[in-house]
Structure 1
């Protein structure tokens, strides 16, 4: 018997603390006018005090349970995509499992940078279609603020914290199948975007202590990649699926920068009204951006939507869903 995947619930969460462009301008050489002109970002939210990545993800997990009517013990698998985990180990997904009491689930993290949600969704889809797992959570959660160098205005002004996710469930009804096609790719490059690099020892000494580097990106290279290579992937996937861009109800892009989304819209010859976006209010929330944007329109989705994300790796992925 063929098993299909249906998406039955979505959710999103941002911390309470709002940080404006003017506040960041007191920390670095920038201003509200420049930030809005170059990125479209007005505000972003920061997790403070004890509210780490696992807590943001837990908020989304609770929403998914409430919306679906499932118990935590019904969950078979929890995948958390993040590049800002609570720790290298244990996995943030394990902490979410414990927080919600999903005693029957196994859990692991995925790292695909800002492409995390598309990679996580594609991975979860395979687990569901295997027939062994009925209920799978995919949650993308990031506390980017803790990885920022607040003297680096080329990165710090872009990013905010947030989480989003979806619940995938098995079905044997082909009419309920929501995930239609996918294309995931990587273009290995360790320099354009990197974060949290840990250097090996130079000597054995009592003063050794692990340290990580702050987030870095080459903005110009990212913009060029996102507005040329990524739209090509989107077109290829749509052509393979036999769908024209104009037939899409929504195109949900990584919320990196409003100017990038505008460029992609122009490339596909589609109006910005087809592109749900939250980057103005929340900034670049890395892997969580697509998940959060999907959650904002999921209840209104009655046709096809293309989810596309790109980030460090360089990793980029597109998934076509239909409701």
Structure 2
């Protein structure tokens, strides 16, 4: 059995930003428009008027202040409320492959690894642009990587599940190096017209290089242990399956976009994740006092604060549990990897931390790492 380390990470960030104020203006204009068009049904009691959103409501509910997206104009159009991602020719790189390659190249550069020396590419994300051919294989081709590639979907836990999958292959000796890439175009499966969730998601891509850690030197994060778990639940669901490729909406069915029962998710996921991390730490011989950093899934600040307190047995101190939620919003599987990529350089040799993601499924994955320098 071989040891495994994360030797490089990369983040692609879109250049378009939507602030809460901009989003609220667009949503409220849409709500006013809808209420006017359905005034008679609202007056007769057949329909319920759509309430306005507000910046205060969004921040209180989530901690989100802004989000990056691939297309701002379509989302902020009150008559559309959906990104314009025009279909591309089959010979052109797909959207997910394009942003995934950007993140992958940054990770490869940090690791000092050439693309042709990669043996495995996993495209792990919450929603795929198409059914086939696999986005992972397209990324492999664009990078000039070796070996093989495939796609993986475990919703918001896709990154940690992908890391365990790649790590297990490296441990067994079947491969030496892998790229786990998380291109998340969440704006394309969010229902921007639903006040309860219209603020949640943003777009981004992350990547991580994993290598056999038998003779490595220099800065890296040795993977001490990985663990994944699932438990079926309908409380977070999307019946559409793939990103919509047309300029206009398909069937106007609410269940075809992101849906969640937030209260049930909050009540059921928090103990599930806290217990998962506690048992993983206990089985690995790690105590709360050993941890210098928690890189948690970036879905909701209140959820993360609760989990951090449960894991550490106290309120996390400044820097112990970094949040990127306020700037990136929820980026599904990429969230914990953004936090890890941006807030890990300051750790010293021997410092330990946990990367953890959780979400629809329910699913939860945790990776215990130790800094080597």
Q: Do the two structures share a fold, i.e. TM-score over 0.5?
A: yes
Does the 8 A contact of 2:120 with 2:175 survive in 1? yes
Q: Retained in 1: the 8 A contact 2:7–2:221?
A: no
Partner residue of 1:37?
A: 60
After superposition, what is the alpha-carbon deviation per residue over 1:203-234, rounded to whole angstroms, capped at 9, x for unaligned? xxxxx99x981111111122122322211111
Q: Scaled by the length of structure 2, what TM-score is found?
A: 0.78
2:11, 2:207 within 8 Å by CA — same for their partners in 1?
A: yes
Other-structure match for 2:15: 16
Which runs of at least 4 in structure 1 moved beyond 4 Å after TM superposition? Answer: 173-177
Deviation at 1:52, TM superposition (A): 2.2
Deviation per CA, 1:43-72, whole angstroms, max 9, x where unpaired? 000113468222221111111222222222
Q: CA–CA distance in 1 between the matches of 2:223 and 2:190? A: 35
**Aligned-residue offset at 1:312:** 0.8
What is the 5 A alignment of 1:51-62?
52-62=95-105
Aligned residues: 310
* TM-score between the two structures when normalised by the length of structure 1: 0.90
1:63 to 69, 91, 106: 106
Question: How far apart in 2 are the matches of 1:105 and 1:23?
Answer: 45
The structural deviation recorded for 1:153 is 2.0
Q: Does 1:74 align with 2:117?
A: yes
Q: Distance in 2 between matches of 1:13 and 1:231?
A: 30
Of structures 1 and 2, the larger Rg is shown by 2
In the alignment, structure 1 residue 294 sits paired with structure 2 residue 335 = no
CA distance in 2, matches of 1:82, 1:281: 20
1:254-301 Cα offsets, whole Å, 9 max, x none, are 000111111112223241421011000000000000111111123223
* 1:309 and 1:316 in contact (8 A); partners too: yes
Which residue pairs with 2:232 in the alignment? 188
Q: Using the alignment, how far apart are the partners of 1:299 and 1:155 within structure 2?
A: 33
Q: Is the 8 A contact 1:4 1:177 kept in 2?
A: no
RMSD of aligned Cα (Å): 2.1
235-244 or 167-176, which deviates more: 167-176
Once the 2 structures are TM-superposed, how far is the Cα of residue 105 of structure 1 from its aligned partner? Answer: 2.6
1:106-121 pair list within 5 angstroms? 106-121=148-163
* Unaligned 5+ runs, structure 1: 199-207
1:122-146 per-position Cα deviation (integer Å, ceiling 9, x unaligned):
1000111121211100111200001
Q: Residue 284 of structure 1: SS of its match in structure 2? A: coil
Contact 1:165 1:295 in 2 (8 A): no
Give how far 1:174 is off: 9.6
Shift of 1:171: 2.8
Pairing partner for 1:315 from 342, 363, 373: 363
Cα distance change, pair 141–272 in 1 and its aligned pair in 2 (3 A): farther
